[in-house]
Chain A
Amino acid sequence: MAFENASAGQEPRATARGSLFAHRIEQKTILSAVVGLILAVLVLPPLYFLVVGAVSVEEGAQTRYTLERFVMLLSQRGILISTWNSFVFAIGSALLSLLIGGLAAWLVERTNAPLKSVTYLTNVVALGTPYVLYTSAWLLLLARSGPINTWYRQLTGETGVIINVYGMGGMILIEGLLWSPLVFLLLGATLRNFNPALEEAARMSGATTWGTIRRVTLPLSMPAILALSMLVFIRTIEAFEVPALVGLPGRVHVLTTDIYEMMHRTMPPDIGSASALSLILLFIVGALLFWYGRLTRNAEKFATVTGKSFRPNQIDLGAWRPLAGFALAFYFFLLIVLPAFILVWASLLPFYQTFRSQAFPLLTLDNYRAILNSPRYISLVVNTLLIGFVSASVVMLLTAVSAWLTVRKAPGARVLDNLGTAPLVFPGIVLGVGVMQFFLQVPVGIYGTVWIIVWALVINYLPYGVRYSYAGMIQLHRELEEAAAASGATPLTGFRRIVFPLLAPSLIAGWLFIFLLATRALSLPVLLSGPSSQTMAVAMFDLWGNGQGPELAALGLMWSLSMTCIAVVFYLVARRGGGLQRA
């Protein structure tokens, strides 16, 4: 959304040649229409069916249209509390993740702190781990019977708890930890590309290190930090895993869990109210995104990234260096060691209990055996990888063509761009309700198959694809295509033989990013998966709810290990292509 105007200044300069290429321009027009149609078919129906679902009331054979559901929802105390909770939760998590991830990023990118590679590894592993697994791990750690509270009781003789995780505090803590790695990766990119000239000037004028940070580095990074916090804020408003697993037992409701409960926990499911509440949430997110767009547009004035080649200088921490090392070690400990430790422990138990010596005789490999012997888990792996692969490929293909048409000012380019970025306003759970409504009303036989999930995920990740493709595309000058055209190639051939290969690094980075997101997505598949289309994250969510924590731990460990390998590839590709900036 932030780059809508970025392609200005690339006006077609050939006028006389225009007529010569008339039939080729026509080809672009057709292509533009086709891509636009595909995007419209993807993006518009869920919205339409949400609106219809929200305002129509069936009374026998008659259908009545009314706004009463909105009135009812907005006058309900429960919904207002949920809205308030959503905001508190999102603000808290955004601040916490910014603090943790931001500090780690600054230490790694701008100082001579030790343990940098360990910190990179931490974030890459976190990128490949489903949130639902992370959340259950921290729940095991922080619960009343978890090691922390148990040791507290043993040390003090108290009978209560030192941390009650099932509440707003616990939700913010866990969500904040979940988002820290992404903050690290995104902010790290900004800090890495920082022009040191101003900082040097400050220091030469006699400013201290701290003074430089406070008066130069921080204000200059402010737009990036603000934009990033806005992004995390929006994403946590839409979050589902933590509110479902942590909030609901603690009776803290947010908007996403309210929607989920309307769909799943009332008999019969109240799809009308769920649609109406979805639209309310959609409106909130839309307003925030509009603001976010304004914020990032102004950010261009703060040109911290220029074409000049430079390497930002690193601050010598001096005596503080061991402390910084300790902080990064703690980050690693918090995000990897602790969750991994409790998951390994849980995975070896026949039934879950806290870490204590009495449980040692019970340790068993049965959970691993059960998973490896169950054909069901093979189909989970196949489904998840298939969904990830197809969604990522479709998104990148669609957005590559659409970005090309947009940048080259094909007819209707503006519409393509807007359609591609519009799904940003859909929280996963809202999109799930919309897509479900669509396929319930238009029975084409993909309901309950993997394809409905792919369909929904493609919509969900279109904006990410647009970002990667567009950012890659604006770097390509049109003279290469003109050379191709002069040699007799059609625009489509030019795209296929010239643009596409040159775009490849951006496309691969985007593909991997979407693949990783798709394979761990929960809020969409949880609404849409059928008996033969379960995904890994849904299975983990079910295992947790069905009382199979130990099996969940074993499954999660094995899965995360394999996804980490893919995340490492992503990281290497993205680092080379600078793709992380666009994530």
Chain B
Amino acid sequence: MKAALNMLAIALTAVLASLAPAAAADPALIAAAKKEGQLTWYTTQIVNQFARPAAEAFQKKYGIRVNYIRADSNEVTLRIQNEGKAGRVQADVFDGTGATAALKNNNLVAKYIPQSADRLPAQFKDKDGYWVATNLYVLTPAFNTELVEKGTQPKTFQDLLDPKWRGKMAWNSSVTPSGGAGFVGVVLAHMGEEKGMAYLRQFSGQKITGLQVAARQVLDQVIAGEYSIALNMFNNHAVISAAKGAPVEWIAMEPALGVFSCLSLTAGAPNPNAGKLFMDFLMSEEGQKLYRDADYLPVDPAVQPKDPALRPGEKTFPAIFMTPEQVFDNLPKWGAIYKDVFR
């Protein structure tokens, strides 16, 4: 009888919780987070586009300081691994395309899905509870509209083999989806192993410049006219820059590569409550709108991106989607092929 009552109470609480307004985080969590007063966020988000505005919005709302460090997925992983080894984890929250899967194996990720993510479709949450997806990345090429006349830009993988693009393309050379390795991945997934490898070998004759910088910086160099085409970059970045007057446009390459940016809590986080509250904030409608306002693609189906054409779909363009686990499992292989074929 007592057990049944307990069950009922739990069920009721759950119902009530789902009815509560989406914006309100758990007051107990807020209080505990405020006591901690700050949190550290290792992020792959570009600082001036998203990391800084998001940190400022959170601080304004809760008075809790966000120390953010921007690095690519590999470096985020490496830093947290080292901190774990040194017995002093400093990151509370981190995001990235493959970091969670890697760090899970080192027991450095805590299971936590914020309450605010309850409303979202299951595909955006790890079934084991290690990550939530905050936003969608669509990786395609982009071109400089002053160097490449509109209409003449390459639209298919075959177009990229045109000798006129030789030496005029660049990508990020780090082993990450948003670089040469990700390009390898989408080609293999699209064409199959054998044809894909043949294509890649042929493509390496195009002398693509590998830059040891974020995809954002690759795009900036294309905007500056250093190269004509940036490969495997985030399509929303092109839109952000074009809005500021930059001569750049993205290409809906068929197919594009779609990956999630995933958010996780570290195991042994020094400020776990502030970290949880920050995750709750980013997954709430308010947080998702921050992604939209920054011209990113929020996962929340209720928050439409500013430019719906950026999001792959039946009406726009096809994309191959990969989960963080798929990314993590395949990335070393793509990286090895990339190194082998293109360096």
Please give the residue numbers on chain A whose beta carbons come within 8 Å of chain B beta carbons, in ascending order.
Answer: 143-145, 150, 166, 244, 248-249, 251, 263-269, 350-354, 362, 370, 374-376, 436, 439-440, 443, 445, 447-448, 530-532, 534, 542, 544-549, 551
Residues of A within 8 A of B244 (CB): 350-351, 362
Please report whether the interface of chain B is mostly helix, strand, loop or mixed according to DSSP. Answer: mixed
- B67-110 with Cβ < 8 A to chain A: 67-71, 74-75, 77-79, 81-83, 85-88, 90-91, 102
Contact B90 A448 (CB under 8 A): yes
Residues of B within 8 A of A370 (CB): 48, 52
Instruction: Output the nearest chain A residue to B74 by Cβ-Cβ distance.
Output: A267
Chain A proximity of B270: nearest CB distance (Å): 10
Contact B175 A265 (CB under 8 A): yes
Q: Which of A268, A531, A548 contacts B42 (CB 8 A)?
A: A531
Q: Does B40 contact A (CB under 8 A)?
A: yes
Q: Which of A264, A266, A532 contacts B90 (CB 8 A)?
A: A532
| Given A531-B40, A546-B214, A547-B46, CB of A352 within 8 Å of CB of B335 | no
Contact B75 A264 (CB under 8 A): yes
Contact B224 A267 (CB under 8 A): no
Contact B82 A447 (CB under 8 A): yes
Given A440-B86, A548-B47, 16 extra CB contacts under 8 A = A145-B226, A264-B75, A265-B74, A268-B81, A350-B244, A354-B225, A362-B245, A370-B48, A439-B86, A440-B82, A532-B90, A546-B216, A546-B217, A548-B48, A549-B217, A551-B48
| Given A265-B174, A436-B82, A443-B88, CB of A145 within 8 Å of CB of B225 | yes
Give Cα A448–Cα B211 distance, bound, in whole angstroms. Answer: 27
Residues of B within 8 A of A448 (CB): 82-83, 86, 88, 90
Contact B71 A447 (CB under 8 A): no
| Given A448-B83, A531-B91, CB of A267 within 8 Å of CB of B213 | no
| Given A267-B102, A352-B223, CB of A531 within 8 Å of CB of B75 | no
Give Cα A374–Cα B68 distance, bound, in whole angstroms. Answer: 12
Give Cα A143–Cα B227 distance, bound, in whole angstroms. Answer: 10
Q: Which of B67, B90, B224 contacts A353 (CB 8 A)?
A: B224
Q: Does B246 contact A (CB under 8 A)?
A: yes
Give Cα A134–Cα B244 distance, bound, in whole angstroms. Answer: 27
Q: How many A-B residue pairs have CB under 8 A?
A: 131
Top-3 shortest CB links A-B: A547-B217, A547-B216, A447-B86
Contact A143 B224 (CB under 8 A): yes
Contact B214 A267 (CB under 8 A): no
Chain B proximity of A512: nearest CB distance (Å): 31
Q: Does B343 contact A (CB under 8 A)?
A: yes
Q: Does B308 contact A (CB under 8 A)?
A: no
Q: Does B206 contact A (CB under 8 A)?
A: no
Contact A251 B245 (CB under 8 A): no
Chain B proximity of A485: nearest CB distance (Å): 47
Please report whether the interface of chain A is mostly helix, strand, loop or mixed according to DSSP. Answer: loop
Contact A267 B77 (CB under 8 A): yes
Most B Cβ at <10 Å: residue of A150, A266, A440, A546? A546
Report 21 cross-chain contacts, Cβ distance below 8 Å, ordered by A residue.
A143-B224, A143-B226, A248-B173, A264-B75, A264-B78, A265-B175, A267-B74, A268-B78, A350-B245, A351-B246, A376-B67, A436-B82, A439-B86, A448-B83, A530-B83, A531-B67, A542-B70, A546-B46, A546-B70, A546-B213, A546-B216
Residues of B within 8 A of A374 (CB): 52
| Given A251-B210, A353-B223, CB of A530 within 8 Å of CB of B79 | yes
Q: Which of A352, A375, A530 contacts B224 (CB 8 A)?
A: A352
Give Cα A129–Cα B340 distance, bound, in whole angstroms. Answer: 39
Residues of B within 8 A of A542 (CB): 70-71
Contact A547 B214 (CB under 8 A): yes
Give Cα A573–Cα B82 distance, bound, in whole angstroms. Answer: 42
Q: Which of B74, B88, B212 contacts A249 (CB 8 A)?
A: B212
Contact B332 A267 (CB under 8 A): yes
| Given A145-B224, A436-B82, CB of A445 within 8 Å of CB of B77 | no
Chain B proximity of A534: nearest CB distance (Å): 7
Residues of A within 8 A of B74 (CB): 264-265, 267
Give Cα A131–Cα B92 distance, bound, in whole angstroms. Answer: 33
Residues of B within 8 A of A546 (CB): 46-47, 70, 213-214, 216-217
Give Cα A158–Cα B147 distance, bound, in whole angstroms. Answer: 14
Q: Does B219 contact A (CB under 8 A)?
A: yes
- B51-79 with Cβ < 8 A to chain A: 52, 65, 67-71, 74-75, 77-79
Most B Cβ at <10 Å: residue of A263, A354, A376, A532? A376
Give Cα A548–Cα B241 distance, bound, in whole angstroms. Answer: 12
Chain B proximity of A350: nearest CB distance (Å): 5
Chain A proximity of B296: nearest CB distance (Å): 15
Contact A248 B91 (CB under 8 A): no
Residues of B within 8 A of A376 (CB): 67-68
Contact A244 B212 (CB under 8 A): yes
Chain A proximity of B65: nearest CB distance (Å): 8
Most A Cβ at <10 Å: residue of B75, B175, B219? B75
Give Cα A244–Cα B47 distance, bound, in whole angstroms. Answer: 22
| Given A531-B40, A544-B213, A548-B47, CB of A266 within 8 Å of CB of B175 | yes
- B204-245 with Cβ < 8 A to chain A: 209-214, 216-221, 223-227, 241, 244-245
Residues of B within 8 A of A144 (CB): 225-227
Contact A447 B83 (CB under 8 A): yes
Residues of B within 8 A of A447 (CB): 82-83, 86, 88
Contact B331 A267 (CB under 8 A): yes
Instruction: Output the nearest chain B residue to A439 by Cβ-Cβ distance.
Output: B86
Give Cα A370–Cα B175 distance, bound, in whole angstroms. Answer: 31
Give Cα A297–Cα B197 distance, bound, in whole angstroms. Answer: 59
Contact A267 B217 (CB under 8 A): no
Chain B proximity of A285: nearest CB distance (Å): 24
Residues of B within 8 A of A267 (CB): 74, 77, 102, 175, 331-332, 335
